[in-house]
Amino acid sequence: MVNSYRYAFAATTPDLPTSGTTVDLGIGQIGIFDAKTWVATATPTSKSIVIAQGTPDTKWIPGVAKGNQTYKSLTIKGSKVTGWKAVKARKPQGQIYTMGFDGVDVTKTLNVPVGKNFTFWITLSGQPIANLLGDTPSTHYATWTEQFSVVLPCAEACSDTCGDTYDCNVVADAVITAVNDRKIIGGQYLTEYVKFTKLLSCDTPSGLPTVPYSKWNLTVADTGDTVALAGVQAQYPGVTIKRVSRDGVFSTYELTEAGSSTPTAFSTSVTPVIPNCSTCPSGYTLVPSVDAYAVARPLSSTTDLHDATAQAAFLATLVAAYSAESGVFLSYNGSVATVELFFTTGTTVTALLSDSVAQIGTNQPLCTQDVATTVAWTKVADCTKAEKEYVLTIKNTDCGATYLTELQAEYEGIGTVTLVSTNSDTCTSQYKIVVTSDNTACDLCDDEFYKFSTPKPFKGMVWTEVAGETGYGTGCVCGIKAESIYEMRKAKECFLKQVAYEFEPLFISFSTRNPDPNDYSVLCETDVPVTKVQNVVYPIGYGRVVADAVIASNYNFNQPWIKNPAERDAFEYELGIDLNGYYDTYILSYEVEPSESSAISGFGTSRVEAFEHAFYFPAGTGSDFETAINGFLAANNSDVDLVSI
């Protein structure tokens, strides 16, 4: 074996063609072809196949040194396949540490003696911190440590607090407040890099009154962009709609609202067309891709095409003459009329009479809606919001009147303001407002805790929480979860090579001991337990890495990477890769024996060349290709193990 060749192909669509030849492939589409007949198949059973990927149909002028060819493998014989494996895409995960209760072990909590403040340290390290500090691995490993000294409530005077500890809820809430307010390098909030969450388990959960809410999901076929989101939001004014997932042409939306009444069914009339589809969802019809040609025909001086009727007749004449699918009248300048005609992709168009014909593009396939329908929402969770009371005491300007009407208008939508009492001797009134929690609790696996925002001041007077309404349960253990959330730099094809790919994530560590070994102040203190519950998980099949593999492979097809994006555009060099997405990988290895020996006499040493092809499909979409190659190997009684993702 003298050489090993590696090629990479990233699919732009998961659909395998079932008819036609390599010239019928869409741009970036991967197809499997019988090596003898060159007919596409999704269920190959022949002894040999060729795998190819579609490229643009541009006809390059002489001198460009670039051919118009489909990227393809050599002939792959089933008996010569040496390897076949699949690697499932995986998104990265950050480190997770807990301090105190770790979500499982109720013997751990935030134990802080009454009368003492709580001190702890968080250390961030890795390439993201090096970016902030301007360091490089050649100098030293980049780290950044933040110290927190959380001030807790004072002990009551003349009371014996020996051995007492603070309610862990008080400690946890104080820690959450401190980390959420902390800014680090360059004025950035720490929470842009680390997500902090309170962990809680109580014998008796929060005693606050609650209001029932319901969470609903809606899955529909649409374009998956901001316009599609706006189309859903417009049908539900006053309710916040979020897109929570995207799978192929289907988007899943979520809303949470009070009560349990099912939201009004969604009307699909806002999505009449879904572009760039090769397979349409139910209720839609496929309009195949077409080649668009501009046809200009010189006219005699007696021909007048200024009115719409004459233009329509002229267009119909050319559509019929060229056997086009359809057409559009473009322009008329008195001597030449130009129309745009659409043909089945790959059709050769020859000019008639003295016409001038030029291909101006290829329209991608569309899915057009048959009839607008409605889609029902599905309930996915029962949720709650808690209620808390706040009071405001203010002196009335007019002893015979109150601010009730003005307060109700000021806080409309936040809560209902009521008058508690009025002291006519002091002209002072007290008002009450009941507000709901900022968060909605839907996780039934854990005890929920609620977050509240104090209503804004009124005429400079602040609202105060009603005494005793902490919302804390009893018999609680508490903890703080810290999760690194740093995201890699977003890549774009325009400046792909100008932005380095960061392979190292953000690392974090929690400690109630100073990382400085020279600090002895806390040696005798009791540690709060710190637990690592998740280590760093590196990504697999990240689009940016897939792009590098495809770029290197394209050199084999005389397609070198050009730094200048304008030049790449001129050569129609587009990767068609979601650089920030994730791809499943299929790797097929095989051997090829040249038909003739290397020696003239025929007795020389024969050469066997090894090839390895990597095929990338957006995560979860490569099942058709997987099934096809598995079937090909099975039909040829290959000893290579079949794969499954």
At 445 the pLDDT is 46
Six-digit token pair at 127? 């390439």
Which residues of the chain register pLDDT less than 70? 1-4, 58-68, 135-140, 155-163, 443-449, 467-470, 486-487, 520-525, 595-606
At 115 the pLDDT is 82
At 280 the pLDDT is 86
Six-digit token pair at 166? 């603070």
At 140 the pLDDT is 67
Contact by Cβ (8 Å): 420, 432: yes
The C-alpha angle 597, 600, 603, rounded to 5 degrees, equals: 55
At 255 the pLDDT is 94
pTM: 0.64
At 110 the pLDDT is 93
Q: How many CB atoms lie within 10 A of CB 496?
A: 20
Alpha-carbon torsion 377, 381, 382, 384, what sign? negative
At 59 the pLDDT is 65
The residues, ordered by sequence, that sit 6+ positions from 71 with a Cβ below 8 Å of its Cβ are 7, 9, 52, 53, 55, 554, 557
Q: How far is CA 46 from the centre of its chain?
A: 39
